[in-house]
Amino acid sequence: MKASRLMIAGTVAALLPIAGAFAQSSTPAQEPQQQGATFESLDKDSDGRISKSEAAANANVTAQFSSYDLNGNGFIEKDEVTNSNNSRSAPPSDKK
């Protein structure tokens, strides 16, 4: 009887680390929010422009790449972002 209790206790003790590993791996890690990325955080090589491969780090920038690349050279420059954001936030004019 005492041997079977020791056997059960040993088995439980051996399985506890495995149960802990499953508990930790079953909860998915929170993905960082992609919104709010700065120009500098996307410009990984610090050349003053964002390439398509650099933009791929942010789904929102990737989806809107062509609307930011105003001159069509395949890169987003800081002044293009500024101009694009200013034109989007400008109130509509009352000219008729």
pLDDT in the model for residue 92: 60
Residue 25 CA: distances (Å) to CA of 14, 29, 30, 31, 85:
18, 9, 12, 15, 41
Report the sign of the C-alpha dihedral through residues 77, 75, 71, 58, in that order: negative
pLDDT tens digits along 20-41: 444 444 444 433 444 568 999 9
In a domain, residue 89? The reply is: no
Q: Where are the beta strands (DSSP E) in 3-51?
A: 49-51
In a domain, residue 52? The reply is: yes
In a domain, residue 90? The reply is: no
In a domain, residue 81? The reply is: no
Q: Which residue has the tokens 């890690």?
A: 29
Bridge partner list, 76? 50
Q: How far apart are CA 49 and CA 64, in angstroms?
A: 15
pLDDT higher for 37 or 89?
A: 37
Please state the pTM of the whole predicted model: 0.55
Report the sign of the C-alpha dihedral through residues 43, 44, 50, 55, in that order: negative
- The pLDDT confidence band at residue 81, using thresholds 50, 70 and 90, is confident
pLDDT in the model for residue 96: 55
pLDDT tens digits along 45-80: 999 999 999 999 999 999 999 999 999 999 999 999
Count structural domains, the chain.
1
In a domain, residue 84? The reply is: no
Range of the domain at 52: 39-76
Decide if pLDDT at 86 tops 90: no
